């Protein structure tokens, strides 16, 4: 297994074409190691979500290459890309996006169902749900839990396939300050416990305290000198 789980090589993203084209990212280069906890920060419209969507293989760059676990993802066709994404990447969004007519446990199991690897999944889901403090909520329907609990269900769902990289776009953006603090604490402790890489977009950099690296984006570029290894 390569030590670097993600290599971003000179990517550029242009939305649209002609007069209406928007250059959302340019000249983006960086490498991420296994187990790192990384923040992507920058003002609104700077390109954070675009970058996260590229890393998450939800959209392809206009130029450049993205290597995940040593595989150049530009060589994968759309079918291979979606199964690769499902096995290597876990996603957490600002809104937990749970299916309300399924229980907490069923929501967590969805990625395993899609992957067709249900063997042992229920026990693994139970263990993870216990880790995030939701062992008593497993049989509840997803629309009957609180916002903070729903986000913890979404975190568990992102982890159930044991992804190499967990990606989160403003995971605390829709939470009150106490739930946000709990969520940050949980993400950091899961990162240490599972040795999985976490890459998190946030507008609230101080909320996350010490991290391994901060990538600051301004007008679609990494701000010079601020791709830093900070504070450890
Ligand atoms: N699907 C799209 N089509 C056209 N332009 C887009 C699209 N998505 C994003 N953009 C543009 O690309 C730029 C970067 O947007 P992006 O969503 O990545 O910013 P962001 O840093 O995540 O902002 P925010 O903090 O507000 O979420 C912006 O100028 C935005 O208008
Ligand atoms: Mg965004």
The per-residue pLDDT for range 138-157, each reduced to its tens digit, is 999 999 999 999 999 999 99
Three-class SS of residue 221? strand
Q: Are 166 and 198 in contact (CB under 8 A)?
A: yes
Ligand 1: nearest atom to the Cα of 220: 14
Per domain, the residue ranges of the chain are 36-60+78-229
For the stretch 11-63, pLDDT in tens is: 999 999 999 999 999 999 999 999 999 999 999 999 999 999 999 999 999 99
Fold category of 36-60+78-229 in CATH? Rossmann fold (3.40.50)
**Strand residues in the chain grouped as ranges (E):** 4-15, 22-33, 37-41, 63-68, 71-72, 89-92, 165-169, 197-201, 213-218, 221-222, 228-229
For atom 11 of ligand 1, the residue with the nearest CA is 24
What's the rounded mean pLDDT across residues 174-188? 94
Q: Does ligand 1 have an atom closer than 6 angstroms to the CB of 21?
A: no
Q: Tell me, what's the pLDDT at 215?
A: 97
Interval between CA 106 and ligand 1 midpoint (Å): 32
Q: Does ligand 1 have an atom closer than 6 angstroms to the CB of 20?
A: no
Q: Does ligand 1 have an atom closer than 6 angstroms to the CB of 44?
A: yes
For every residue of 190-207, DSSP letters joined together read HHHHH--EEEEE-S-GGG
For the stretch 88-110, pLDDT in tens is: 999 999 998 999 999 999 999 99
Check whether 7 has a pLDDT greater than 90.
yes
For the stretch 58-99, pLDDT in tens is: 999 999 999 999 999 999 999 999 999 999 999 999 998 999
Q: Tell me, what's the pLDDT at 232?
A: 38
Q: Which residues surround ligand 2, an ion (CB under 5 A)?
A: 49
Please report, rounded to a whole number, the percentage of residues in the chain having pLDDT higher than 70.
Answer: 95
What are the Cα distances from residue 113, in Å, to 35, 151, 168, 189? Answer: 26, 20, 22, 26
């Amino acid at each position: 297994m390569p030590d670097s789980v993600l290599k971003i090589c000179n990517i550029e993203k242009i939305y649209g074409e002609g007069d209406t084209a928007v250059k959302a990212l340019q000249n983006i280069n960086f490498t991420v190691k296994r187990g790192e906890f990384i923040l992507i920060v920058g003002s609104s419209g700077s390109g954070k979500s675009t970058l996260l969507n590229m890393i998450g293989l939800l959209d392809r760059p206009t130029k450049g290459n993205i290597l995940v676990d040593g595989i150049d993802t530009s060589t994968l066709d759309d079918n291979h890309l979606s199964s690769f994404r499902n096995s290597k990447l876990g996603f957490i969004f600002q809104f937990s996006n749970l299916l309300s007519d399924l229980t907490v446990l069923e929501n967590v199991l969805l990625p395993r169902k899609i992957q067709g690897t249900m063997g042992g999944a229920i026990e693994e889901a139970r263990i993870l749900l216990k880790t995030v403090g939701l062992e008593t909520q497993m049989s509840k329907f997803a629309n009957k839990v609180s916002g903070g609990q729903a986000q913890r269900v979404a975190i568990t769902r992102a982890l159930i396939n044991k992804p190499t990289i967990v990606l989160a776009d403003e995971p605390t953006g829709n939470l009150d300050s106490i739930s946000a603090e709990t969520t940050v604490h949980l993400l950091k402790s899961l990162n240490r416990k599972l040795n999985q890489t976490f890459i998190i977009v946030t507008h609230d950099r101080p909320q996350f305290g010490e991290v391994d690296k901060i990538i600051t984006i301004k007008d679609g570029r990494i701000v010079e000198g601020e791709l830093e290894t900070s504070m450890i």
